[in-house]
Amino acid sequence: MYKIAVAGTGYVGLVAGVCFAERGHQVTCVDIDEKKVEVMKSGVSPIYEDGLEELMQKNYEAGRVDYTTDYQAAYKDADAVFIGVGTPEKADGSANLSYIATVARQIAESVEKDCLVVVKSTVPVGTNDKVEQFIQDFLTHDVRVEVASNPEFLAQGSAVHDTLHAERIIIGTESKWAEERLMSIYEPFGLPIVSVNRRSAEMIKYASNDFLALKISYMNDIANLCELVGADIQDVAKGMSFDQRIGNKFLNAGIGFGGSCFPKDTKALEYLARQNGYELKTVKAAIDVNKEQKLKLYNKASKRLITFDGLKVAVLGLTFKPGTDDLREAASLENVPLLLEQGADIYAFDPVGAGNFAKVYPEGRNGNGTITYVSNVEQALKDANVCFVFTEWGEVKALTPTSYKELMKTPLVFDGRNIYSVEEMKKAGVEYHSIGRETVMRKDARESKQLELQSSRS
Ligand code: UDX
């Protein structure tokens, strides 16, 4: 059992801290926000994450995890301090390391015994060398402090599961002492550990995330071509997925990737390459494809309709993916302002993200248009002239083609997640535009409906 402190209680820090406690370590989570600390002490999670609150309550009651703003007390006698603070994107695409620097200095000024500092936050390759030097410069006690890299691969919505059952733990260290301490902290997890040097560990994080971002953008690029040549991206993806070298994950075409990692990490790696005089053409292509993809549906709809002015527009899903209330880099944030500018009356449904969205676009008038937040999909669709699907929430997936036909004034659907069957939409008489698949126009839908009726009569 180790005494562990965790700096930062966002997705990375809080989940890591609670999972270390769950595996038997003594953990103190540190955050500068007093209110947030109080909330966490009361057993409430500041983020929406499946299973997290239960683990917080269980481990708090067992005395294995605590929360504080008093970093000095937490770091002073910790065997390891994990850093999980944010590294947001700067305007030029580089990572903002000011939070890491602040924590590094606080650690240097607090530690009174040998301590391993473990950076979980995603940082540009080479940063942890500087963090170690920075800590050495500010140390106030004669103790051993080294820095290890331990990038985090959890996905939002399955963060606890991803941490407790990770496919691999990457540790990047520069000494036997650091490697052994970190391995032994992870021993109770019983997971495969890949031990490499610090710079390789930092690179593994970017290379993994950017590869997945590339994979999605590649499928989006192929989807766009499928539309032009009459192929179906879902059939194409299925055919590809049986090749084990390709695999069956992250092959879903849609309206682009969002979230806190892929957009930021693609830009950061591209920036790092540029800083080193190298052009990272593949990653740059992924960024470009993604930018265009987010407006794919809006552009399709704009070509189809003369105007959105005065139309009731149902928006299903606001978050960047289901299972989270996070809106960072979500396609909705690109599309909704354009719809409002065009004078649309938006009825938006999102089971957990609506509150956050309302902070940016409050209920009521927003410029030329209006936005109303509704608590179920039916309310959003009732008498709507057009519908956009941005997130594949269960409630949205559960809708049948017939319900679109029955609820909407004009059944015209733009699906950014390829949730429904083209054939079923056609049969139900719904005009249906999706990504990389056949478009069902009003005429096709009507004809198909008439054929249906005729065959059922005969
Ligand atoms: C991702 C990585 O999966 C995780 O390992 C890393 O640590 C952080 O970044 P996350 O951003 O939480 O996790 O979500 P993820 O499920 O990976 O999805 C990212 C985006 O890609 C979402 O907008 C999602 O809709 C999109 N996506 C994903 C696709 O468009 N198609 C796919 O096939 C998969």
**DSSP assignment, residue 329?**
T
Nearest C-alpha neighbor of 81 from the set 124, 32, 120:
120
303 and 214 inside one domain? no
Q: Looking at the chain, how many residues does it have?
A: 458
Q: What pLDDT does 114 receive?
A: 97
The predicted-structure confidence for 54-108, as pLDDT tens digits, reads as follows 999 999 999 999 999 999 999 999 999 999 999 888 888 888 999 999 999 999 9
Q: What pLDDT does 247 receive?
A: 97
Nearest C-alpha neighbor of 29 from the set 54, 10, 42, 2:
10
Half-sphere CA count of 413, side-chain side, radius 13 A = 37
The mean predicted confidence, pLDDT, of the chain is: 95
Mutational test site, ligand 1, from 170, 320, 326, 332, max ligand atoms within 8 Å of CB: 320
The predicted-structure confidence for 367-413, as pLDDT tens digits, reads as follows 999 999 999 999 999 999 999 999 999 999 999 999 999 999 999 99
Q: Is 186 near ligand 1, meaning CB less than 6 Å away?
A: no
370 and 448 inside one domain? yes
Atom 13 of ligand 1, residue of closest alpha carbon: 155
Residue 6 bridge partners (DSSP): 29, 82
333 and 410 inside one domain? yes
Q: Ligand 1 centre from 160 Cα, in Å? A: 16
Q: Are 78 and 179 in contact (CB under 8 A)?
A: no
Q: Are 391 and 410 in contact (CB under 8 A)?
A: no
Whether the per-residue pLDDT at 427 is higher than 80: the answer is yes
What is the domain-level CATH number for residue 242? 1.10.1040.10
Q: What is the mean pLDDT of residues 191-198?
A: 98
| Number of domains the chain is built from | 3
129 and 247 inside one domain? no
- When pLDDT is cut at 50, 70 and 90, the band that residue 245 belongs to is very high
Q: What pLDDT does 452 receive?
A: 59
231 and 375 inside one domain? no
Q: What is the mean pLDDT of residues 286-311?
A: 96
The domain of 53 spans: 3-196
Q: Is 259 near ligand 1, meaning CB less than 6 Å away?
A: yes
- When pLDDT is cut at 50, 70 and 90, the band that residue 451 belongs to is low
Q: Is 413 near ligand 1, meaning CB less than 6 Å away?
A: no
ipTM rounded to 2 decimals: 0.98
Q: What pLDDT does 173 receive?
A: 98
301 and 287 inside one domain? no
Q: Ligand 1 centre from 409 Cα, in Å? A: 34
234 and 330 inside one domain? no
The predicted-structure confidence for 144-155, as pLDDT tens digits, reads as follows 999 999 999 999
Q: What is the mean pLDDT of residues 166-178?
A: 98
- When pLDDT is cut at 50, 70 and 90, the band that residue 219 belongs to is very high
What is the domain-level CATH number for residue 12? 3.40.50.720
Whether the per-residue pLDDT at 447 is higher than 80: the answer is no
- When pLDDT is cut at 50, 70 and 90, the band that residue 456 belongs to is low
